[in-house]
């Protein structure tokens, strides 16, 4: 009976637990409605080779990463070494150069290295809209049929790549 | 006198707020339409759609480049004669239900839609229960036969014996 004054304590602890849980959520990162669906079709000029085109059909046949980036995007620069690492691991990465200038984008690649097999040049961002891009960098993992299996908005961290992206990629490789 | 001064001050504050808000609501670029109806649909749509970059603003409030692109897209689709439903569906397919400031009624949003009502019903229930309990506690309890007999005896003694 003397401890009756303690009754708000469990209430308080429950509140702390709920708020602590809320802090760990990322309400800013939206689930992509594309997951489990075929990628949005596109056809763009290639960034480095203006005579060539990059179309969604080129991404089909084997599992690939599709990375949306821009030279003005600071987080893309922070992410860049991870992409180079993925390239060294033999994982094919296709790029979508989003609302950028060709000269700036090429200079970015010259300076920091080029992890991409081919890059679509989406100057006006219309393909980006089709893919639901809202915050570069964004990375999609596609299976061999061109179905979107995973999307990450924001920087790919070494941990995320080690724990999620590479295992998923190997699993998709094993799928028929 | 003081009342008048206060009234004047309040009026000034109201005017300031009204003008301030309308100044904020001016879109970064104005979309041109052939008919007034189209312009009105545009104004309504860009207020109902959320900018996914700055997630607590709608398309008209946001100055993010993506919001400008999406405003342009909405305007273009209106000019092409697409319906509101088609335009909303276009954005939902790409960005998910999140773009809607009024989320659709579906299994995952039942709690969102009915939660407040549920809380109200729950609160009223607790209130009713508490009130009922209190009344039950304070209601006069009828005397048992023994108590009644005892009381009778006391009263009789009092009346008979005097002092």
ipTM at complex level = 0.73
Binary contact (B94, A99; C-beta < 8 A): no
**A125 contacts on B by Cβ (under 8 Å):** 65-66, 69
pLDDT band per the 50, 70, 90 thresholds, residue A28:
low
- CATH homologous superfamily, domain B2-104: Cytochrome C biogenesis protein (1.10.8.640)
A140 part of contact set with chain B, CB < 8 Å? no
pLDDT of amino acid B160: 62
Which H or E run contains B50? none
pLDDT of amino acid A27: 67
Nearest in space to A65 (alpha carbons), one of A127, A133, A156: A156
pLDDT of amino acid B143: 82
Question: pLDDT: is A30 or A10 the higher one?
Answer: A10
Nearest in space to B67 (alpha carbons), one of B76, B77, B55, B79: B55
Question: pLDDT: is B83 or A25 the higher one?
Answer: B83
A132 part of contact set with chain B, CB < 8 Å? yes
What's the CA gap between B114 and B160, in Å, rounded? 70
Report the SS3 class of residue B117: helix
> Domains of chain A (ranges plus CATH)?
31-174 (3.40.30.10)
């Amino acid at each position: 009976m003397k401890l009756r004054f303690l009754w708000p304590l469990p209430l308080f602890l429950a509140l702390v637990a709920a708020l602590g849980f809320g802090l760990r959520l990322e309400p800013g990162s939206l689930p992509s409605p594309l997951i489990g669906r075929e990628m949005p079709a596109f056809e763009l000029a290639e960034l480095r080779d203006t005579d060539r085109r990059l179309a969604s059909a080129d991404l089909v046949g084997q599992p690939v990463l599709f990375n949306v980036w821009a030279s003005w995007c600071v987080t893309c620069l922070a992410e860049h070494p991870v992409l180079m690492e993925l390239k060294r691991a033999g994982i094919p990465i296709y790029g979508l150069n989003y609302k950028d200038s060709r000269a700036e984008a090429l200079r970015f690649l010259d300076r920091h290295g080029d992890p991409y097999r081919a890059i679509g040049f989406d100057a006006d961002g219309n393909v980006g809209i089709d893919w639901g891009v809202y915050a570069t960098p964004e990375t999609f993992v596609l299976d061999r049929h061109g179905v979107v299996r995973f999307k990450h908005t924001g920087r790919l961290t070494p941990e995320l790549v080690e724990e999620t992206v590479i295992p998923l990629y190997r699993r998709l490789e094993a799928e028929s | 006198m003081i009342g008048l001064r206060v009234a004047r001050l309040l009026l000034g504050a109201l005017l300031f707020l009204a003008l301030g808000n309308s100044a904020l609501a001016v879109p970064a670029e104005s979309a041109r339409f052939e008919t007034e109806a189209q312009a009105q649909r545009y104004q309504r749509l860009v207020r109902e759609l959320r900018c996914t970059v700055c997630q607590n603003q709608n398309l008209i409030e946001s100055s993010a480049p993506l919001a400008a692109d999406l405003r342009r897209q909405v305007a273009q689709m209106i000019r092409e004669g697409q319906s509101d439903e088609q335009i909303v569906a276009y954005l939902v397919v790409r960005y998910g239900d999140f773009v809607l400031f009024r989320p659709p009624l579906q299994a995952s949003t039942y709690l969102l839609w009915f939660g407040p009502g549920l809380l109200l019903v729950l609160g009223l229930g607790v209130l009713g229960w508490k009130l009922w309990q209190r009344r039950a506690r304070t209601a006069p309890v009828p005397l048992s036969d023994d108590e009644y007999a005892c009381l009778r005896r006391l009263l009789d003694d009092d009346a008979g014996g005097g002092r």
